[in-house]
């Protein structure tokens, strides 16, 4: 049905002032912005950070250039949070706590400051935000 609507729109306007290219037709039908300059990516921001070992249940906030969070994807990579000196090995990857127009907040995926005999280590990670049109 959508293809029929696009075919009709293209065929009925071909050669007229109302003609729209197929990428503009698709953008209107699906209510998305057309790909610009051959890419759907508007911006990419990257960096490295860490969560201080002395922040139980804490998150680290990273200032970023203005983005639209609803059109962005965050990727975190790197070190897992570790505890030394405990009877069990524990590790937790960093996770996104919040993403706003100007801030990325990252916390440990698991944190328990009451682990008997354990010492929390810093959590190092890299981050990337891809914003789409």
For the stretch 22-71, pLDDT in tens is 666 666 666 666 566 667 889 999 999 988 877 766 688 999 999 999 99
Q: With contact defined as beta carbons under 8 Å apart, do 46 and 74 qualify?
A: no
pLDDT higher than threshold 60 for residue 19: yes
Domains in the chain with CATH codes: 1-34 (no CATH), 41-132 (2.60.40)
Tell me the average pLDDT across 8-26: 63
Q: How many other CB atoms sit within 10 Å of the CB of residue 106?
A: 23
CA distance 13 to 20: 8
pLDDT given at position 109? 73
């Amino acid at each position: 049905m959508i293809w029929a609507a696009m075919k009709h729109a293209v065929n009925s306007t071909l050669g007229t002032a109302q003609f729209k290219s197929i990428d503009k037709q698709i953008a209107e039908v699906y209510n998305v912005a057309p790909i610009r300059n051959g890419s759907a990516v508007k911006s990419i921001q990257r960096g490295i950070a860490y969560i201080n070992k002395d922040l139980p249940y804490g998150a680290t906030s990273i200032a970023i250039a203005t983005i639209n969070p609803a059109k962005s994807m965050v990727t975190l990579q790197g070190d897992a949070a570790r505890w030394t000196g405990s009877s069990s090995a524990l590790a937790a990857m960093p996770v996104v706590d919040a993403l706003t127009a100007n801030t990325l907040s990252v916390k440990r995926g698991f944190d328990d400051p009451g682990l008997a005999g354990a010492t929390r280590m810093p959590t190092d990670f890299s981050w990337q935000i891809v914003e789409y049109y």
